Chains A and B, each alone.
Chain A
Amino acid sequence: MKTYIKTAALTAMTALASPAFAQEAMSLDQKVNEAFAAATGPFVNFIFMSFPGTNFPWIVMWLVIAATVFTVYFGVVQFRFFGHAIGLVKGDYSDPEDAGEVSHFQALATALSGTVGLGNIAGVAVAVGIGGPGATFWMILAGLLGMASKFTECTLGVKYRNEYPDGTVSGGPMYYISKGFNELGLPGGKILAVLFSVFCILGALGGGNMFQANQAHAQIQGVVGFEFSGLITGFIFAAIVFVVIVGGVKSIARVTEKIVPFMGILYVGAALIILIVNYDKIGWAFGQIFGGAFTGLGVAGGMVGALIQGFKRAAFSNEAGVGSAAIAHSAVKTKEPITEGFVSLLEPLIDTVVICTMTALVIVISQQLIIDEATGLYVLNEAGTAIATVDGNSGVALTSAAFASGISWFPFVLAIAVVLFAFSTMISWSYYGLKAWTYLFGEGKTTELIFKLIFCVFIVIGAAASLGPVIDFSDAAIFAMAVVNIFCLYFLMKLVKTELNSYAARLKSGEIKKYSH
């Protein structure tokens, strides 16, 4: 994985990069890595267990079936109420008397800053690198279907949130599972809510933390041009996150929250420029995407390999069905919980269908993936696990190289974007993890501090470990959340249906109307 050019090693950071230090740090990195892989192995293996006799992980099927069921059950809600969702975000249906409360736009923006992150940049590169361009097709499909999953969980998130006397709110799957099951007279709600919380804490430490720290380190290393210990990046990140979540220095978080949307627009803008410059290849790229989706074009695992990668990375990126967004969306001010469901369905669209697809197109168009000209199939690397790339890059380094082929200085902007995305995702997930933690251990200064400290320690571990074990654990933890969440959503979806029918009828009758602003 670590194939960075060691050219500038003598010019900068000589103390940190001195041979003795580097050697010592590398061995420490390796130790962290090995210990981590050993500790998380059994859990990862269980989550990614394949159906007997196939190489198809059951968890991928679990997510796809759920998204399809919700799409059918709610009558393609993601398309029927798409326009209405836009109207809600614009504030057309917001009571002017509620000015000063959390708006639909703010709830969506906050949730997006938690999901738009490295999944969109590095995760897509992993998907396309292993599953080929065809993975993009399945990723987009998963994104479109996932809109219905997001709609279901976010409606419930608002409906069953806790509103405390002091005016603060707490919401999320742990609340809707326990309250919803109670309301339906079903047993086991509390146990399932606890189970979800445990996985949510692991997910916060994995995908919401270690994966981010790991890839931010890879990106910084790629830009400075020499290898140095991940522990250094880890400590710096941990210190900044510590200052924000423990020290309560909101200004850093606030600045990030403002820069992140700007970076997102810049990222999509840069991708569009590369696409425009290479407009003659766009048709070819889509050909690769569609062709690869059904034939695999020689990738490991063929069509199924492309499908698995596409679905996996979409779920990891937009988190539909995972339950995390329900925590973020639950703070909105609305009398109709379902309105937040409508708004939330825009999230997988922006995250996966727009941003992830941009990354995938740029990687395919820049021809970083090596194709055997004689057969038209992709060439695999030596290990046979992924497609060989021009410089042997994978993950975020692959995306970076793809953008660099069009805009030479873009890796520097990307490095800043990656660091900021990583940071904002960490801040968001520290909150999701904290909510799960306080659900289990109760709210209080000491219990909260313990979680925040654990969170910071995992940043250091994540930055030091290598990509393989980190990505496996991150995926496994996040999918474990989806196992519990989706299982419960099947029981709770009829509550959402009641809300949907009532709201749709009132919208049609004109009872719910726009406010004039």
Chain B
Amino acid sequence: MFDAALHGAVRTGETIIMSTKLVIGLDGHSSGERALDFATTLAEQIGSCELLVVYVIEWSPYSFQTAEENAQRHKRREEEISLARERVVDPAVAKLTQAGLTVTGHVKHGNVADTLNKVAKDSGAAQIVVARSTDQSLSKRLFGSSTANLVMEASVPVTVVG
């Protein structure tokens, strides 16, 4: 189902051609802009390129919630997705489209590193572009940042924009 959605996006162009796919992971911070700029340059250099702008909402199926939170979960999920689209993904897609690139936007829930890697794998992307993490929290110090985890686990090359 996921594959179909992504490949469907590829076919929105006038012809179906083999193109290089790049996954751009955004985290909603200003550093994401640098990742976008870098990917734009890269895409222009490569030529025929498909860009997938992905925003991952950190979420675990093993977290604990109250009954009330569970009852409202579907509603909250929809709200989270539309907020992420509105604030992060849609502006990025608009910007890249304006630059004349073929681009699709995706919002996913899950572990950031795992999810970006899965999107890249499922879509057959050539590489993942992300910005260096801006997260300074304690959890980052304890468990490492999503960016570091992605670099360690990714099955395709990862470019980390500083």
Chain B residue numbers with a CB within 8 Å of A250 are 66, 69
Q: Is the CB of A101 within 8 A of B65?
A: no
Quick one: which of B66, B73, B75 contacts A257, CB cutoff 8 A?
B66
Give the CA-CA distance A442 to B2 in the complex, in Å. Answer: 40
Q: Are B71 and A169 neighbours in the complex by a CB distance under 8 Å?
A: yes
B136 at the interface (CB under 8 A from A): no
A100 touches B67 (CB 8 A): no
Number of interface residues of B (CB under 8 A): 28
Which chain B residues border A432 with CB–CB below 8 Å? Answer: 67
For the complex formed, measure the closest distance between the CB of A173 and the CB atoms of chain B, giving whole angstroms. Answer: 15
A80 to chain B, nearest CB (A): 25
Please tell me if the beta carbons of B71 and A100 are within 8 angstroms of each other in the complex: no
Q: Knowing A100-B80, A102-B73, A250-B69 are in contact, say whether A113-B61 is a contact too (CB < 8 A).
A: no
Bound Cα distance A247, B30 (Å):
35
A436 to B117: give the CA distance in the assembly, Å: 44
Contact between B2 and A331, CB atoms less than 8 A apart: no
For B122, the closest partner residue in chain A by CB is: A96
Closest to A331 in B: B70
A261 to B1, CA, bound (A): 35
Tell me the complex Cα distance, A311–B6, Å.
55
Contact status A166-B75, CB under 8 Å:
yes
Chain B: CB-nearest residue to A428:
B67
The answer to whether B61 and A99 touch across the interface, beta carbons within 8 angstroms, is yes
A247-262 Cβ-contact flags toward B at 8 Å (1 or 0): 0001001100110110
B64→A169 contact, CB < 8 A: no
CB distance from A435 to the nearest CB of B (A): 9
Q: Which residues in A have their C-beta under 8 angstroms from that of B68?
A: 431
**Contact digits for B57-97, partner A, Cβ 8 Å, 1 yes 0 no:** 10101111111111111110110110000000000000000
Chain A residues within an 8 Å CB radius of B72:
167-168
Main secondary structure of the interface of A (DSSP, over half): helix
For A99, give its contact among B63, B71, B74, B110 (CB under 8 Å): B110
Interface centre among B57, B66, B75 (most CB of A within 10 A): B66
CB under 8 Å from chain B, chain A span 159-209: 166-170
* Cβ of A304 under 8 Å from chain B: no
Residue among A101, A113, A332 making CB contact with B64, cutoff 8 Å:
A113
Report the minimal beta-carbon distance from B63 to chain A, rounded to whole angstroms.
Answer: 7
Instruction: Answer whether residue A364 sits at the interface, using C-beta atoms and an 8 A cutoff.
Output: no
CB distance from B5 to the nearest CB of A (A): 9
Interface residue B109 (Cβ < 8 Å from any Cβ of A) = yes
Residue A94 CB within 8 A of the other chain: yes
Residue of B nearest to A429 (CB): B67
CB closest chain-B residue, reference A333: B74
Question: C-beta contact mask, A102-142 vs B, less than 8 Å → 1, else 0?
Answer: 11011101110110000000000000000000000000000
Nearest Cβ distance between residue B140 and chain A, in whole angstroms? 19
Interface of B (DSSP majority class):
helix
The reply to whether A100 and B109 form a contact with Cβ atoms under 8 Å apart is yes
Chain A residues numbered 51-97 whose CB sits less than 8 Å from any CB in chain B: 91, 94-97
CB-based contact A327/B59 at 8 Å: no
Residue of A nearest to B67 (CB): A431
Is A477 an interface residue, CB under 8 A from the partner?
A: no
Nearest B-chain residue to A261, judged by Cβ: B64
Q: Which residues of B contact A107 (CB under 8 A)?
A: 70
Q: How far is the CA of A250 from the CA of B65 in the complex (A)?
A: 10
Does A271 touch B at the CB level, under 8 Å?
A: no
Please tell me if the beta carbons of B64 and A328 are within 8 angstroms of each other in the complex: no
In the assembled complex, B108 has its CB within 8 A of some CB on chain A: yes
A103's contact among B61, B75, B78, B81, by CB below 8 Å, is which? Answer: B61
Set of chain B residues within 8 Å of A254, measured between Cβ atoms: 64-66
Q: CA A96 – CA B65 in complex, angstroms?
A: 20
CB distance from A195 to the nearest CB of B (A): 22
A103 to B62, CA, bound (A): 8
Residues in chain A within 8 A of chain B (CB atoms)? 91, 94-97, 99-103, 105-107, 109-111, 113-114, 166-170, 250, 253-254, 257-258, 260-261, 327-328, 331-333, 427-428, 431-432
Given contacts A106-B61, A110-B67, 6 further A-B pairs with CB under 8 A are A96-B118, A102-B74, A105-B62, A111-B67, A260-B64, A431-B66
What are 26 A-to-B residue pairs whose CB atoms are below 8 Å? A94-B61, A95-B1, A99-B61, A100-B57, A100-B109, A101-B74, A102-B70, A103-B61, A103-B62, A105-B61, A110-B65, A114-B67, A167-B72, A167-B77, A168-B71, A168-B75, A169-B71, A254-B65, A261-B64, A328-B70, A331-B67, A331-B71, A332-B70, A428-B66, A431-B66, A431-B67
Across the A-B interface, give the 6 residue pairs with the lowest CB-CB distance, nearest first: A100-B109, A167-B75, A103-B61, A331-B70, A257-B64, A99-B109
